[in-house]
């Protein structure tokens, strides 16, 4: 599949438990109401599981633009990779950056983008870097899985519809 001209799922990451290293995946099952199979939030063991829950599903999946990772590296003047940032999905080639209130279709999966995913002190402590500076206003998004299925690296990402602005 040639994804050079379209938005696509560039990377998939999960961590089996709180604080565990993120693991890159080629594919993962997305389950509504639970998250990504094999990830700490699916298991209910993520650092923020059950805490600060703004609305149901807000911790099911996290996403970030690949351009945000590059900008974070620039700001911190050191290489940062997606796994370090503890976001599940890396999207490449999407021009729209504020996707709150939008629904993304990635293959058979539908993700409702509910909130931004700003950098936190936990991430700064874990990486011993000022991630608030590195990811200020570009930390990613959080979403809920509206329709489950397999997420496969390389699949096209489509902004399907506007739900409501949050």
CATH of the domain at 129: 2.40.33.20
pLDDT tens digits, 44-74: 655 554 544 545 445 789 999 999 999 999 9
CA distance 62 to 141: 6
pLDDT digits (tens, 9 = 90+) for 100-143: 889 999 999 999 998 887 777 777 677 778 888 888 888 889 89
pTM above 0.75, yes or no: yes
Answer yes or no: is 116 within a domain. Answer: yes
DSSP 47: T
The answer to whether position 36 is within a domain reads yes
User: Token digits for 97?
Assistant: 């950056």
Residues comprising the chain, all counted: 166
In which band, very low, low, confident or very high, does the pLDDT at 160 lie, cut at 50, 70 and 90? Answer: confident
Backbone angles phi, psi at 23, to 5 degrees: -120, 130
Query: Is 97 inside a domain boundary?
Result: yes
The span from the CA of 156 to the CA of 91, in Å, is 9
Q: What does R_g of the chain's alpha carbons equal in angstroms? A: 15
**What's the CA gap between 35 and 119, in Å, rounded?**
20
Question: Averaged over 148-155, what is the pLDDT?
Answer: 98
Q: Rounded to an integer, what is the distance from CA 153 to the centroid of its chain?
A: 13
Q: Please check whether residue 98 lies inside any domain of the structure.
A: yes
Q: Is the distance from CB of 115 to CB of 141 less than 8 angstroms?
A: yes
Q: Which domain holds residue 110?
A: 8-162
Residue 1 lies in a domain: no
Q: Quick check: is 3 in a domain?
A: no
Domain count of the chain? Answer: 1
Position 165 pLDDT exceeds 70: no
> Does residue 82 lie within any of the structural domains?
yes
Residue 19 has pLDDT above 90, yes or no: no
DSSP one-letter code for 136: T
29 lies in some domain: yes
pLDDT band at 1 (very low <50, low <70, confident <90, very high): very low
């Amino acid at each position: 599949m040639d994804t050079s001209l379209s938005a696509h799922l560039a990377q998939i990451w999960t961590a089996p438990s709180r604080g565990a290293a993120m693991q890159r995946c080629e594919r993962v099952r997305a389950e509504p109401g639970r998250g990504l199979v094999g990830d700490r939030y699916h298991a209910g063991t993520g650092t923020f599981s059950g805490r600060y829950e703004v609305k149901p599903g807000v911790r099911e999946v996290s996403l970030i633009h690949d351009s945000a990772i590059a900008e974070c590296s620039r700001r911190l003047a050191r290489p940062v990779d997606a796994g370090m940032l503890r976001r599940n999905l890396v999207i490449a080639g999407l021009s729209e950056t504020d996707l709150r209130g939008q629904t993304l279709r990635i293959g058979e999966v539908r993700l409702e983008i509910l909130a931004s995913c700003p950098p936190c002190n936990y991430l700064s402590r874990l990486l011993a870097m000022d991630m608030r500076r590195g990811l200020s206003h570009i930390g990613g998004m959080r979403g809920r899985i509206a329709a489950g299925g397999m997420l496969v690296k390389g699949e096209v990402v489509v902004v399907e519809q506007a739900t409501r602005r949050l």
